Amino acid sequence: MPTGMVTFDPVARAFRAALGLVSWRAMPVAVRLLFAVLLGFVVLVAIMDATPWLDALNPVYEVFYNAVLVGSAVLCLARGALGRDERVAWTVIGASLALWATGNLYWQFALSDLEEAPYPSVADGFWLGFLPVCYLGVLLLARKRMPQLDSRLWLDGIIAALTTGAISAAVVYGAVQASTGGDTAAVATNLAYPLGDMILLGTVIGAMTAGRGRLDRSWLYFGAGIAVFAVTDSIYLLQIAKGTYVVGTLLDIGWLLGMLLAGLAAWQPAVRKRATGDELPSIITPIGLALASLALLAYDHFEPVNLLALGLAIAALVAALIRLSVTHRASRSNLVSTRVQARTDSLTGLGNRLALHRALDTTLAEGVPHVLLMLDLDGFKNYNDSYGHPAGDALLARLGARLLAAATAVDGAAYRIGGDEFCVLAPSPPGQPAGSLLERARVALSEHGEGFMIGASAGYAALPADAEDAEEALRVADRRLYAEKNSGRISARLQSAGALRGALQEANPELGGHTDEVATLATEVARRLGLDEDEIERVAIAAELHDIGKIAIPGSILRKSGPLDADEWAFMRRHTLIGERIAQSAPALTGVAGLIRSSHERWDGTGYPDALAGDEIPLGSQIVFVCDAYSAMTGDRCYQPSLSEADARAELRRNGGTQFAPAVVEAFLAARPAPVPTPA
């Protein structure tokens, strides 16, 4: 590559990049050709402006110049005539460009050869007529492209327009005003140009500011074109006012580029975006614009500016204050909305756990009697698995609405605090039991149909009697709720245990009687140790079934009168593992199976099947082991004589800490006081 070409390589790359931003496929072939010709004319005009022999080329120059103006207007008018939408906006914009081109043609062919052209002239009428028509086109296009804008975006646009106008008025309008002379018509014309350019530039910048984030390529080209046009015209007026304007400089290209960009924009694809929360403006833009207006007012103290600029700057600051006020109000509204959402369950619209906590804190602080109900759906998981999560969500929404109606009927409130957990907090007047509200809540949370039945288990807490704070109130209600839920599970557990106990009784009546006694003893000891009712029930069932595995042990081993050999002992010791497997076959006995497995573990770790020691052994198994040993020692067995009750108690005490858990032995002895000797 020749060395001289290197200088133009960055320019060529920039030119190619700019052309790459144009959607050429969206333009018909004829439009592409026309645009290419017009662009070529602009380049030729720029070259001629840069040459010293412009006067000799003036006729060609004027042809190219006016061809670009007329061609740009044709591009926009063609878009208005042939396009599918935005036809009115582009027709109006094309008409405005045509007015400017007509004014230029009139000046070229009717007035340029006169020694002293009239001022104002017909050409001025066309040029000034371009401005209001162009305003209308800008507004129509902005309205079409941005049908729904947040009020803050419109305010940002107004602030930008006022700030731009203030700066333009200070720089251009003031200079033109200072140089104005002549009759009234000439004065009005002189001032109309900078004022019109100021309004046009402010309108375009305001629309672009309002639509940021929602402006497509078409609007950006158009806005840039009108902005270039207005800035060029403003610089021209400023140079005319100062007497520094020279015909045939690169400034003259500004009008052509501005119009050509507007014509190009007409044929770019339009993409209209709906308003979304992501497009809401930040406060940075209006603050920056307000600071620019404030700087202009501060500058006025050092170098006086015209009243129009001051008025526009003050108006921009007022608009910025309004914008801040609107932003503050919107922020407060969003904060309130966020707080409501933070305390509301999105599915049912009921209060969530946070809202319930706040309500409980308030209720307990006031000390007014209330009742807290906690309800958990029964059968919901099966419903969800059968009909799917959307149907489950719809069911929760229906049940939540019914519960809310039941709660509000007694001046209460309903909450959803978990997947299928609900709460009600309602006043509890004296003499009005919680049971009536509980029943209404159960009815509200009940639904049945073909193949399903939904109900609710419930617990309650009376406030402030049952709790001093929100957490304690929830714990009390939760404990009562799951006590009720477990009662259903205990029933199933008892039914399963009864079936297995019947099988054991049929297989070995002697073992059946023994297990009944062990269960009775275990219940007493468990209660003595302070276990809750559910744990006591599990221990009692484990005691009843601790020998269930012996069903699989041959009778010859069970009834052998002599000592068992090693193989027989190995076989016998499998009965706890067999018993565990039998219990695990019934889902309701899952919590019992482990107790059966460990019911022959010794405190010193020499038991079976896992050689557990000390507190590694489940407490329920420790209880069953002590009670089983006592029953075996005091009962008649084929392989050993029975002991008296006193001797059996002494044996337990002697082996406490080695074979048996010491605490369990003490609880057993305390639960069954030693018999009083009968006098001789």
Where does the pLDDT of residue 17 fall: very low under 50, low under 70, confident under 90, or very high at 90 and above? very low
- Mean pLDDT over 379-388 rounds to 81
Q: Answer whether residue 64 shows pLDDT above 60.
A: yes
Angle in degrees, CA 361, 366, 368, rounded to 5 = 110
Q: Bridge partners of 463?
A: 370
DSSP 224: H
d(CA 348, CA 342): 14
pLDDT of residue 39: 87
Count of alpha carbons within 13 angstroms of residue 647, beta-carbon side: 8
pLDDT of residue 2: 37
- Owner of token pair 């001289």: 4
pLDDT of residue 221: 85
pLDDT in tens, 546-595: 888 888 777 667 666 667 777 777 777 888 898 888 888 776 677 788 89
- Mean pLDDT over 455-477 rounds to 88
Q: What integer best gives the mean pLDDT of the chain?
A: 81
Residue with more model confidence, 91 or 246: 91
| For the chain, counts of helices (H) and of strands (E) | 27, 5
Shortest CA distance to 460 belongs to which of 431, 487, 424?
Answer: 424
Q: Is residue 535 a contact partner of residue 493, using CB atoms and an 8 Å limit?
A: no
pLDDT of residue 559: 66
Sign of the four-CA dihedral 94, 99, 102, 108: negative
Q: Answer whether residue 492 shows pLDDT above 80.
A: no
pLDDT of residue 96: 93
With helix as H, strand as E and coil as C, how does 594-607 read? HHHHCCCCCCCCCC
Residue with more model confidence, 154 or 351: 351
pLDDT of residue 277: 47
Where does the pLDDT of residue 430 fall: very low under 50, low under 70, confident under 90, or very high at 90 and above? low
Residue with more model confidence, 77 or 27: 77
pLDDT of residue 144: 79
Give the chain's radius of gyration (CA, Å): 48
Where does the pLDDT of residue 396 fall: very low under 50, low under 70, confident under 90, or very high at 90 and above? very high
Amino acid occupying residue 502:
G
Where does the pLDDT of residue 3 fall: very low under 50, low under 70, confident under 90, or very high at 90 and above? very low
d(CA 659, CA 596): 17
pLDDT of residue 35: 85
Q: CB under 8 Å to 463, separation ≥6 — which residues?
A: 360, 363, 364, 369, 370, 371, 372, 428, 473
Q: Is residue 98 a contact partner of residue 290, using CB atoms and an 8 Å limit?
A: no
- Across 112-121, 136-145, 634-643, 669-678, the highest mean pLDDT is recorded for 136-145
Q: Answer whether residue 83 shows pLDDT above 70.
A: yes
The encoded tokens of residue 135 equal 């305003």
pLDDT of residue 93: 92
Q: Answer whether residue 480 shows pLDDT above 80.
A: yes
**E-state strands within 432-479:** 447-449, 452-463
State whether residue 435 is helix, strand or coil.
helix
Residue with more model confidence, 409 or 453: 409
Residue with more model confidence, 502 or 317: 317
- Owner of token pair 């600029």: 309
pLDDT of residue 275: 47
d(CA 456, CA 259): 74
Which of these ranges, 288-297, 308-317, 346-355, 501-510, has the smallest mean pLDDT?
Answer: 501-510
Where does the pLDDT of residue 680 fall: very low under 50, low under 70, confident under 90, or very high at 90 and above? very low
- Mean pLDDT over 649-660 rounds to 93
pLDDT in tens, 115-127: 677 777 898 899 9
Please spell the DSSP secondary structure of 588-648, one letter per residue: GGHHHHHHHHTTT--TTS--SSS---GGGS-HHHHHHHHHHHHHHHHS-BTTBPPPPHHHH
With 0.85 as the threshold, say if the pTM is over it.
Answer: no
pLDDT of residue 671: 86
- Across 66-75, 250-259, 432-441, 666-675, the highest mean pLDDT is recorded for 66-75
Q: Which residues are catalytic?
A: 420
Q: Answer whether residue 267 shows pLDDT above 70.
A: yes
Q: Answer whether residue 280 shows pLDDT above 70.
A: no
Q: Is residue 261 a contact partner of residue 222, using CB atoms and an 8 Å limit?
A: yes
Pairing relation of β-strands 370-378 and 447-449?
unpaired
Where does the pLDDT of residue 6 fall: very low under 50, low under 70, confident under 90, or very high at 90 and above? very low
Where does the pLDDT of residue 627 fall: very low under 50, low under 70, confident under 90, or very high at 90 and above? very high
